[in-house]
Structure 1
Amino acid sequence: MPIAYLDLIGGIAGDIFLAALLDAGYPETHLATVLKQLPGGLSLKTENLKINGVSAKKVSIVARTTGVLPQKRTELFSLVDRLPFEKKVLAKAKNILETIFQAEAKVHGEDINQVHLHELSAFDTLADIFGVLGGLSYLKVEEVCASEIPLGRGLIHSRHGILPAPAPATLEILKGLPVKGIPEKKETVTPTGAALLKNLVKVFGPFPEMRISKVGYGAGHQKFDTCPNILRLLVGKKRTTENLSGEKVVELEANIDDKTPEELAFLAEKLFEKGALDVGFTPFFMKKGRPGFKLCILAKPENTNQLVKIFFSEEASLGVRIREIKRKTCPRQIKKISTPWGEISVKFAKAPCDSFKIEFEDLKKLSEQTGIPLIKLKKNIESYLKQHYYKERNNY
């Protein structure tokens, strides 16, 4: 699954997000096409600069048309509905704008249809929103993840006067999202940036399991004192467990202190014959300091009763603990492979395991037939499989 991870080093704003997308491979020509379809006569200016030695891209959206966007919700949504974009893109854009309107209405105690956007009524607000949506679409990103959101403190100037940073509307949008404080006396997250996170990010946390293909750095317009004002964007393929088979299994466990190793091995054979998926013994000290074994059996739920009967018939213990658990398994297949030393069974596992294992009983028989020491034969066959079979046909 194509995935993007936002490493919010210095926070986020719409233009920084857009700059990171451009730096990660979103073509400026594609963004310019998006801007032409928006009001305001918008044009794009980009600058490549270095922040603490790291190359980053800075974006400026310039409007040739004087004035602002409609500031009320119904009027702005009417304008958005007339824009020449796909319906799903328009819907996402409206959801982002709705998040901003709801926050502004809550903070100012006004009806959502009466609240004004003020600072967010600039033409570049739509440029940031539609540009980001266009960039994610171009890079074929299906899921967006992000780090914790860094918040600075300080004072910012607005049409309402001097306000604390983060802006009240920003904090309202960030409700329910993971934030952390940083010692920066500036605004690190804008309302537009917060709304983009709220609507686009599926998971917040550390770096996800992924194979990185592109990295982009977006630079902000302010210089921070305590950290670089950049957003780092990682794009790649998510390493998922979609190929893993999920199933419910039963774990049977008991303490045993009166069986010899030979008797335990015999018990394990009986349990495997009746459908046990795995059987293991762990030595430990029981009550009164007596050495014993902890028996653990893994089985499918439908085999529980017959396994318990075998367990008690061998008088292994007077009780057994039963737990229902979940497990994930890699899809696998056992194939007969012809090698220079003879035919042998090999177990292949698909992604994310991507591995193979020679069946021991076959290896043992082949060692006896050829007279080659088992360890040496195993190394030879593994090398042969890696060179002539596994790399080319591990998808079996």
Structure 2
Amino acid sequence: MSSRIAYFDCPTGIAGDMCLGALLDAGVPLEYLEQQLGGLGLGGAFRLRPERVQRQGQDGLKLHVELAGVAEEPPTVEGHHHHHDTRHLPEIETLIQGANLSQRARDWSLQVFRRLADAEGSVHGISPDRVHFHEVGAVDAIVDIVGTCVGLDWLGVDRILCSALPSGGGTVKAAHGQLPVPVPAVLKLFQMRGVMLYDNGIRRELVTPTGAALMVTLAESFGQAPAMQLQQTGLGAGTQDLAIPNLLRLWVGETEESPWGSDRVCVLQTQLDDIPPQAIGYTCDRLFEMGALDVFTQGIQMKKSRPGILLTVICPPEKQRTCETVIFQETTTLGIRQTLQPRSLLKRHIETVELDGQPVRLKIASDATGARFNVQPEYEDIAAIARQQKRPWYQVHQQALQTWHNHQA
């Protein structure tokens, strides 16, 4: 089973107009994009003008969103134009719902704007519906977001992935005054998804609120490019000349889809040889409380032939700092190793059966096709019945499995 992937490689960040430029360069017809955007009911409020440009000697496509009656200003940041056209989220949602878009393009567009409103509302301490959009609510940003969703839908992609994003630096002038980079809304969007960031040394705003909202909403992961058979590429040019080519690189291709799900986990490890065993037990309990997926210890031999233990913690990437804090607080370690690892996993859901009037939950594991691989009753449910009826735990466990299988017959 193959899957069609769109991978956004963002060495100089991402903005909405860069996404549109990359999509057009990858083959999305301009006429189709204009026809779909025409259904937003914005009349002649904008015009799309593609232009081939050079960025540090490399060719790319720069898409200009020209607003009626507004001269295109040199933006102070990637893709930001400081217009006075403002809107609230319900009005933007009405425009999108009234457009003749495909179901997927419409759903994506609504999700992106809702995520952006959630971030802005959190920053300003107000409800998302009361967010007063400035740059991001103007016509050019509506075009950027809806146009990107339309283009990705036209390409027929099944999965969207994104590289780690550069943090940028310095300050930028915005509607609320001079702001540090990343600007507050972008920082909140990064936090919402635990986005992988790095510093490429460029002290500019490289990721705009529009670009961040698109990737935080649509991309299933941030990191290295997946294994794929490359079929199309697109280069979307940014406005500024930077130390490296200011181009967003879109890769579109096919990959063989695993029947299992996949994600990434953070693995933390440290060795301990000078801590009471009670403290280790307490540390493990706290790590589970803080969201660790698994915690375990192994006996090892340390320097000078001293016996010790290896503490291993597996957690979601967004829980890494929380789990590290617990380890430093509760143990004597001075250092923790960390790695990010891909993980294949089965889908899981809970079903319930009754044994002598008592509910027992069972965890059902299956692949993407629905084929079941494992069925396991919940330990605590089995233990409660075994204690109450004074029966062997394993006997109750087997009865629960048999009851479930009988229900499937």
TM-score, with length taken from structure 1: 0.58
| Structure 1 residues 70 and 53, CA gap change in structure 2 (3 angstroms) | closer
1:26 CA displacement: 1.0
Instruction: Tell me which residue corresponds to 1:234.
Output: 251
Equivalent of 2:204, from 169, 186, 211? Answer: 186
The answer to whether structure 1 residue 151 and structure 2 residue 157 are counterparts is no
Instruction: Tell me which residue corresponds to 1:5.
Output: 7
Matches of 2:46 and 2:37 in 1, distance apart? Answer: 6
| Structure 1 residues 87 and 152, CA gap change in structure 2 (3 angstroms) | same
Number of corresponding residues: 245
Please, what is the CA RMSD of the aligned residues? Answer: 2.3
| Structure 1 residues 44 and 89, CA gap change in structure 2 (3 angstroms) | same
Offset from partner CA, 1:318-353 (integer Å, 9 cap, x none): xxxxxxxxx9xxxxxxxxxxxxxxxxxxxxxxxxxx
User: Which moves more between the two structures, 69-78 or 174-183?
Assistant: 69-78
Instruction: Tell me which residue corresponds to 1:170.
Output: 186
Instruction: Tell me which residue corresponds to 2:320.
Output: none
1:61 CA displacement: 0.9
Instruction: Tell me which residue corresponds to 2:97.
Output: 81
| Structure 1 residues 239 and 209, CA gap change in structure 2 (3 angstroms) | farther
Instruction: Tell me which residue corresponds to 1:377.
Output: none
Equivalent of 2:227, from 196, 209, 212? Answer: 209
Larger Cα-atom Rg: 1
Matches of 1:201 and 1:214 in 2, distance apart? Answer: 18
- Segments of structure 1 that go 5 or more residues without pairing to the other structure are 244-326, 328-396
> 2:85, 2:134 within 8 Å by CA — same for their partners in 1?
no
Instruction: Tell me which residue corresponds to 1:43.
Output: 47
| Structure 1 residues 25 and 188, CA gap change in structure 2 (3 angstroms) | same
Instruction: Tell me which residue corresponds to 2:396.
Output: none
Instruction: Tell me which residue corresponds to 1:15.
Output: 17
Matches of 2:101 and 2:127 in 1, distance apart? Answer: 29
Alignment of 1:1-396 (within 5 A): 1-40=3-42, 41-64=45-68, 71-175=87-191, 176-225=194-243, 227-242=244-259
Secondary structure of the equivalent of 1:48? strand
Runs of 4+ in 1 over 6 A off after TM superposition: 65-68
1:154 CA displacement: 0.7
Secondary structure of the equivalent of 1:222? coil
Amino acid at match of 1:124: D
Secondary structure of the equivalent of 1:198? helix
Matches of 2:9 and 2:102 in 1, distance apart? Answer: 29
Matches of 1:158 and 1:103 in 2, distance apart? Answer: 16
Instruction: Tell me which residue corresponds to 1:297.
Output: none
> 1:38, 1:127 within 8 Å by CA — same for their partners in 2?
no
Matches of 1:241 and 1:71 in 2, distance apart? Answer: 43
1:91 CA displacement: 2.1
> 1:68, 1:121 within 8 Å by CA — same for their partners in 2?
no
TM-score, with length taken from structure 2: 0.56
1:81 CA displacement: 2.1
Amino acid at match of 1:106: S
Matches of 1:137 and 1:77 in 2, distance apart? Answer: 19
Secondary structure of the equivalent of 1:124? helix
1:224 CA displacement: 1.7
Amino acid at match of 2:201: P
1:234 CA displacement: 0.7
Amino acid at match of 1:2: R
Matches of 1:86 and 1:51 in 2, distance apart? Answer: 34
User: Which moves more between the two structures, 65-74 or 109-118?
Assistant: 65-74
1:118 CA displacement: 1.1
> 2:47, 2:66 within 8 Å by CA — same for their partners in 1?
yes
1:182 CA displacement: 2.0
